A and B are shown apart, each in its own frame.
Chain A
């Protein structure tokens, strides 16, 4: 077999059973890999009413047919589960080298189920798989546990997936790491892994990925590697990491100042990639087979936190516990907070999201020091944030409330609709540090429609509206229309989002990094089809490529529909649609902009063929995509969703 390893590893921690299931040609062709395999497992094996922390819940790690090959950036892994944060479909994607290692060990996917009696970790040594004691690793930061496992197994070159203390304590937005720092941040699967008493998965792979047509593969890879060399986005990302966005975000007004009260700040350059590279950058890091290498390693040299070291940060990791909570003056505070969320193993975005929501509740008088246990949650209070992050991870004091996620915390505190106004979530998950009033209306639409809830900059990653200026003619080449290349316009955006969501879904199934395909646009769909065919020896076409993405996307949407989430939940936080963007700096380009979601929704629904009333995936489309069983599942639910009693329910999470 070429490309795929051809088998799924299933580990039941309750019984200690380890099974290897072959993946048929039809199955692989239908779902490709990674995100596709995972979404299929979650839809079929994790029912709507199951608690995400139930031992019967699954957590899946998937890689794709080109993982571990010479195609650009083939180290990604998708981690999928029923999200304890949103209660709906949840997946997240990480870089690093673990994905390639898993493939070399001979697996396309690992599914973990059950719950071990005591903390354990899984050791995958090619064919040999064992469940080992991890009691001594419990409570350790990933960086410590990584070293301890490597010493124990006597091999420093293995790659390990780990959770931090937050995952062990089932914080609803705990995340997973591989290679210590590469996080699959969102949707809280770290807590699900922790609920299974699983600390991590160590992998050693000594095999190879077989290539059907090595000469064709060499040709396409040679060409793509050359394309990257002069690419402007590659150069920016290599030099400054994704923090290269800070100054752009500040100019275009999507810098998340104080929980999106503002979109720009005069001191933004304090934390820009340019400043980071000059002051605290220790080393540049690359994920597997990456021609970009946007990874950072930071060493704080001055001030209170001098001597601290950690992998990262990147843009979305640095801004939530920085400007989003009002910290901007001393960038070392921002790097320190990023270090904390990494070590404790929490999603930086959600951590910043929940703290900034709490700060706004505090500012508006919805809560006082009485509720916070004496913590003065003023904007920019770095000392409080430094205290609060470990409190959340260990569920202590006020931290225990925030560990439930922003919307649940709001309900626990009994703040009503007012509380939810400031949580800036959709479907229970906080939006990342991108304000759609500046970043782009396509992104905004994507935030409303993302199939993993309150995200998602990574569902469509429609940089076509962002990088348009850098690549003249690109929009025409991909979408057949150059007009959508400006961020703050609606024209052509519904189709752009529809197209890019499908494209990105298949890219995730291949498990290649979207920075090669959606940021730099050095790798376009025809290139991906070319290397996929060279690796597998099959005959995929561009149409099939898009169709696979559409299938995955509709399945994920159906997962939400199955638990009564549809058209009524296709919203973005009201702040974006009602509050005009204020002026933060004099060169800001988007002052006064509000985000016009409703204008675009109707058209987007048409492209998707979602039902107008419910917003459920349409029956005709589902059947066309080979998802008849899904259509059958959804048929009886339509009238229920439209019933008066359902309409009355206000749902923030599931």
Chain B
């Protein structure tokens, strides 16, 4: 994984604001829109639920495994799966294979595109940088998992304590 860091998504915190979506599309395509964003937000307004869906940078990536031309492949230097637009034939296999639905076809080129962790951006991926609620963080997964473990344990502990008092 790139610098040992990854995008970590915390669905409980996602407000569905799509700050990530506009940032992503502006940074990569110079225009703003959901259709050119590498990260997506799914909103369930009636129930007040929102979810952020971005590339999880699979170690054994299905998108790379199904690519017939080698356009979608692990970049061994960056440590992430990338799509080489020159080799891409627009067959959509990777988009269908992705278990999360985070690969899309570009409306202008007809080729597949996916998250590249905002390669070259000093402040890291724009989605994490702009996320107002902390639903997307760019961090070492190990640190994120440790923190989550602690939060969840404390919550359970609180519940137990409250139960004892009540």
Contact = CB atoms under 8 A, between A and B. Distances in A.
Interface stretch (B31-39, B57-65, B70-78, B87-95): B31-39
A180 B15 contact: no
A137 B32 CA distance: 33
A264 to B, nearest CB: 31
A211 interface: yes
Given A289-B19, A291-B132, A181 B35 contact: no
Contact of B46 (A74, A97, A100, A146): A146
Contact of A97 (B33, B43, B107): B43
A147 B35 contact: no
Contacts of A97: 18, 43
Contacts of B42: 157
B112 interface: no
Nearest to B49: A283
A293 interface: yes
Contact of B43 (A74, A100, A179, A234): A179
Contacts of A211: 26, 30-32
Interface string A220-233: 01100100100000
A288 interface: yes
B137 interface: no
B26 A218 contact: yes
B44 to A, nearest CB: 8
B31 to A, nearest CB: 4
Contacts, number: 121
B123 interface: yes
A147 B45 CA distance: 10
A210 B153 CA distance: 47
Given A146-B45, A209-B33, A285 B132 contact: no
A287 B30 CA distance: 22
A4 interface: no
Contacts of B33: 68, 104, 207-209
B29 interface: yes
Interface in B86-130: 107, 123, 129-130
B132 A238 contact: yes
A637 B6 CA distance: 68
A123 interface: no
Contacts of B16: 285-286
A70 B23 contact: yes
B154 to A, nearest CB: 16
A291 B19 contact: yes
A289 B29 CA distance: 17
A514 interface: no
A187 to B, nearest CB: 24
A228 B132 CA distance: 9
A208 B132 CA distance: 23
Interface residues of B, number: 35
A347 B6 CA distance: 45
Given A225-B130, A238-B132, A284 B31 contact: no
A156 B26 CA distance: 25
B31 A286 contact: no
Given A222-B123, A286-B17, A297 B133 contact: no
A70 B32 contact: yes
Interface string A247-289: 0000000000000000000000000000000000011111111
Contacts of A175: none
B81 interface: no
Interface string B1-29: 00000000000010111110111011101
A180 B46 CA distance: 7
A143 B46 CA distance: 6
Given A97-B18, A206-B35, A290 B132 contact: yes
Contacts of A473: none
Contact of B45 (A179, A282, A299): A179
Interface string A131-173: 0000000000001001100000000110000000000000000
Contacts of A217: 26
A21 B158 CA distance: 61
A439 interface: no
A311 interface: yes
Contacts of B34: 104, 206
B28 to A, nearest CB: 10
B133 A293 contact: yes
A292 interface: yes
B163 to A, nearest CB: 16
B50 interface: yes
A71 to B, nearest CB: 8
Nearest to B47: A309
B15 A295 contact: yes
B32 A285 contact: no
B23 to A, nearest CB: 6
B19 A208 contact: no
Contacts of A218: 26-27
B50 A285 contact: yes
B48 interface: yes
A16 interface: no
B32 A68 contact: yes
Interface in A273-330: 282-293, 295, 297, 299, 309, 311
B35 A284 contact: no
A86 to B, nearest CB: 30
Interface of A: 68-70, 74, 97, 100, 104, 143, 146-147, 156-157, 179-181, 206-211, 214, 217-218, 221-222, 225, 228, 234, 238, 282-293, 295, 297, 299, 309, 311
6 contacts: A104-B35, A208-B25, A217-B26, A285-B50, A286-B133, A309-B48
Given A206-B107, A289-B19, A293-B133, 14 more contacts: A69-B26, A157-B43, A179-B43, A208-B29, A209-B33, A214-B30, A221-B23, A285-B48, A286-B15, A286-B132, A288-B17, A288-B22, A293-B17, A297-B47
Lowest 6 CB-CB distances: which A-B pairs, in order? A286-B17, A297-B48, A208-B33, A214-B30, A286-B15, A70-B22
